[in-house]
Structure 1
Amino acid sequence: MTTKTDYLDVLIVGAGLSGIGAAHHVQDAFPNRTFAVLEARDAIGGTWDLFRYPGIRSDSDMQTLGYRFRPWTDEKSIADGPAILDYVRDTAAEAGIDRHIRFGHRVIGADWSSEQSMWTVTAEHAGEIVTLSARFLYACTGYYRYDEGFTPKFEGTERFRGEIVHPQHWPEDLDYTGKKVVVIGSGATAVTLVPSMAADAGHVTMLQRSPTYIASLPAKDPIANTLRRVLGNRIAYPITRWKNVAFSTVTYQLSQRLPRLVKAFLRKAQERQLPDGYDIGTHFTPRYNPWDQRMCLVPDGDLFRAIRHGKASVVTDRIATFTERGLALESGTELDADVIVTATGLNLQIFGGAELSVDGKPVSLPETLAYKGMMLSDVPNFVFTIGYTNASWTLKADLVAEYFCRLLARMDERGESVCVPVNNDPTLTTRPLLDFEAGYVMRSVAQFPKSGSRAPWQLGMSYVHDLVTLRHRTLDDGVMQFS
């Protein structure tokens, strides 16, 4: 069955951190405009509602992961998942955005009509097909596939007598108290799970093929909390936000330009937190330079503390096969386990898997270029959000929403209905959209739009640069075409 719904000015897809932020910007800038948010699941929060594994938390500070327009007021800067979820839901409720969300609507396709200057969006809802018409389509779906995580094919999994769990589908009734747990992986999920599970498990082993750079930061930012007590939330928040932006920018630039210095600093910090004589070279020294892949943060050094107290350990090796009692490794070592957690990564999926078309012709995403990392070449009135890989996602999400509102205001002022970026530079060369060596990126990036060799066809990873470009520079750059 198909049901036709009302015309909307803006249709936002996704009610996670990005979608709620986008809706807030649109509603604040255009109180008389009609908009709706389509959410495939039945709750607000996106990642922060879906992931329920022990210890889930932010992997960056909340002064930059939080919205520019709504201060983060909790004492913890590295916050747990439930606190972040409350923040997102409270933001939606306070602004009345929750009344504009249509839950259980999974977008499966969208077609742009040049004749009508309109998107027709098709969604599944309660076993029916629903279509909506919108002037602008705004995708805030992130780039993770939410219905399944990534698990490599391991030999012998059927022989293992214990439980095998993927963090993306954590069972509510999983009891690991006093048990031997092996967490396969070395990324942000693994370094979160290990110290969290170690509190109740008999012992937790983090099994990794290769190490990841791991840095410790205070869970509570003393400067942020002092400023808030002295100056209040409204003044302290932007100061702390800029302090943290400056810190992350300097850290990233040093990592790129003086990697040996950053390596030495990280190693010294780890030596202070790990047992004397610990083999840091094997277990915590990657083959790549800092920030060639995302650096993991551990609040108050909780992972190192768990290792120091004997509650957790790290093994760097490869899996030969699963056995009845655990894992046999290529080195000949065997790891006994009652529970094995495959924190082996995520699958990427852009736009939630929805298929785009223009005048009935399917859009081949790998043949498109990403304009300023937020629009697609030759695809009219379409905006999407992809955050930074070297800083908090919301920094970019806020800027994209602000740019979109500038764009819409300019079009209203001049009586225009269509905007579309067009590449007229035959010398432009292409490259992957995400220039990042992480495994989850390398597996799927070929299915994504491309980046160009020059601005504005690049997905920037500098907040300061994007701040100038998206918030202040002219919209009439010769690439964006209005009609």
Structure 2
Amino acid sequence: MEHVDVLIVGAGLSGIGAAWHLQDRCPGTSYAIWEARDAIGGTWDLFRYPGIRSDSDMFTLGYRFKPWLEKRAIADGASILRYVRETARENGIDRNIRFGHKVVAAHWNAADAVWEVEAETPQGRVTIRAGFVLMCSGYYSYDEGHRPEWPGEADFEGRLVHPQFWPADLDYTGKRVVVIGSGATAVTLVPEMAKAAAHVTMLQRSPTWVLSMPAEDKFANLTRRTLGAKLSYFLTRWRKVGLQMLFYRMTRKRPEKVKEHLLGMTRAALGPDYDVETHFTPRYNPWDQRLCLIPDEDLFASLRDGRASVATDTIERFEADGIRLASGAKLDADIVVTATGLKLNVLGDVAFDRDGVPVDLGKALIYKGMMVGNVPNLAFVFGYTNASWTLKADLTSEYVCRLINHMKSRGLRVATPRPQPGITEEPFLDFSSGYVQRALDKLPKQGNVKPWKLYQNYALDLVTLRYGKLEDGTMEFSGVGFVKEAA
């Protein structure tokens, strides 16, 4: 049976970054990347809907080690995909990827101190042994999106489309389009489709906080010309991190002031006659759910010129040529796009067990936001909810490399985080978004004290994960054939 020191699951933004860190920080460490699909890129290869772009700036969504060199800070999906694939190609990472390997199960063999990982492939099921497993499979199901059903759908004579599975043959030129939803996907689709459609309506049950930012960062583009790419990227990245942290802190400390600021920006963009109270004033505080970022006011521009509109209402039923709302109003539609969200999963829905005993991830405590309590040699990447995903992904990979090097230097093979008695369990994510609330029972838990507490703070995580003690009294290290069972 094949053996590698590290198995990375997933060849998206996180997985390619993890491989780079392994090559850079753990020379001589063997690894493989198992990817379920047939291409590098993860999210940025899967999603093909019109206008697909980043919902964070690329100076923080990009890798710490590879400067983002394009002018646009809010980048389109094709540009991000090129960036990820270029990283893999430049560093020879692509040679270590096995495509068409969907990981379905992982068994911890304590006697040999290895994971035996199984994957479904077109040729049948295969198994690999790995000393350490790093899950970079994201947080949502690639096979299934969240898709509510409504009365009368069978009566609708137009096309019904989910953005996660965008049909290549869909022509919306001159068509009446209704986009159901108000999250990041919806606010991306509406202005893009409005360029060619007869009209696009964003139908929402309730509003989402929206923040407009310039698509290009003047500071970054100026300093790149004067200081060079690497220094400019470093300065711009930290400038963005600082601004993100300051803004998030303001939303927690003074939410009413932040709401006033956001609403003021929206009113200025849409004009005094627009009903901002109904369509752009959420019932929750900013960052109780993720803010929707729009570049250069593109959504507002499509509303101002009449190419698009917003309806805040609920669906009573579908009809042959559109949607009847609870208010009695009718939205005519040739195409309905259900931008209704993702289906969250946990560690790729892989079935983990320790010597035949299943691991119940829904009841597990999470160590430092990346490892599972009482489960050895397993880490996963889960990015920030209040900042760019890659900020945490980079730190997670760095920490895993430190852990592996520490074990090698001491002749040890097993690292297991052990929860202390008396820890109070809390939800893994303190987020009111629908995709999180629908999956709370399946998500692992965080604790009320460090290192089990999830802080959603890049500066704090950087100090803890890059420089903090590995032997912290919680992480238990052991050698071949010895894994102390939890009491």
Q: Same fold (TM over 0.5)?
A: yes
SS at match of 1:447: coil
Match of 1:200 in 2: 196
Match of 2:476 in 1: 481
Match of 1:77 in 2: 73
- Provide, for residues 380-429 of structure 1, a one-character-per-residue CA deviation record: whole Å limited to 9, x for no partner: 0001000000000000000000011111111111111100000122x211
Q: How many angstroms does 1:91 deviate by?
A: 0.2
Match of 1:366 in 2: 362
Q: Which of 183, 187, 191 is matched with 1:191 structurally?
A: 187
Residue correspondences, number? 478
- Provide, for residues 344-370 of structure 1, a one-character-per-residue CA deviation record: whole Å limited to 9, x for no partner: 000001121110000111101122110
Q: How many angstroms does 1:170 deviate by?
A: 0.2
Aligned letter for 1:471? R
Q: Which of 224, 228, 232 is matched with 1:228 structurally?
A: 224
The alignment's TM-score, normalised by the length of structure 2, stands at 0.97
2:101 aligned with 1:105: yes
Q: How many angstroms does 1:41 deviate by?
A: 0.1
Q: How many angstroms does 1:127 deviate by?
A: 4.1
Match of 1:428 in 2: 423
Distance 1:445 1:238 in 2: 37
Give the percent of matched residue pairs that are identical in Structure 1 and Structure 2.
57
2:431 aligned with 1:449: no
**Root-mean-square deviation over aligned CA pairs:** 0.7
SS at match of 1:244: helix
Match of 2:50 in 1: 54
Q: Which of 400, 413, 416 is matched with 2:396 structurally?
A: 400
Verify the 8 A CA contact 1:141 1:350 in the aligned structure 2: no
- Provide, for residues 176-216 of structure 1, a one-character-per-residue CA deviation record: whole Å limited to 9, x for no partner: 00110000000000000000000000000000000000010
Distance 2:416 2:449 in 1: 18
Q: How many angstroms does 1:460 deviate by?
A: 2.3
Which residues of structure 2 form unaligned runs of 5+? 479-487
Distance 1:176 1:388 in 2: 35
Match of 1:330 in 2: 326
Match of 1:468 in 2: 463
The alignment's TM-score, normalised by the length of structure 1, stands at 0.98
Which residues of structure 1 form unaligned runs of 5+? none
Distance 1:460 1:93 in 2: 34
Verify the 8 A CA contact 1:161 1:324 in the aligned structure 2: yes
Match of 1:14 in 2: 10
Match of 2:153 in 1: 157
Q: Which of 378, 382, 388 is matched with 1:386 structurally?
A: 382
Counterparts of 1:23-422 in structure 2, within 5 Å, are: 23-422=19-418
Distance 1:112 1:267 in 2: 52
Distance 1:222 1:199 in 2: 26
Aligned letter for 1:93? R
Aligned letter for 1:461? Q
Q: How many angstroms does 1:266 deviate by?
A: 0.9
Aligned letter for 1:294? R
Distance 1:441 1:118 in 2: 32
Distance 1:176 1:333 in 2: 23
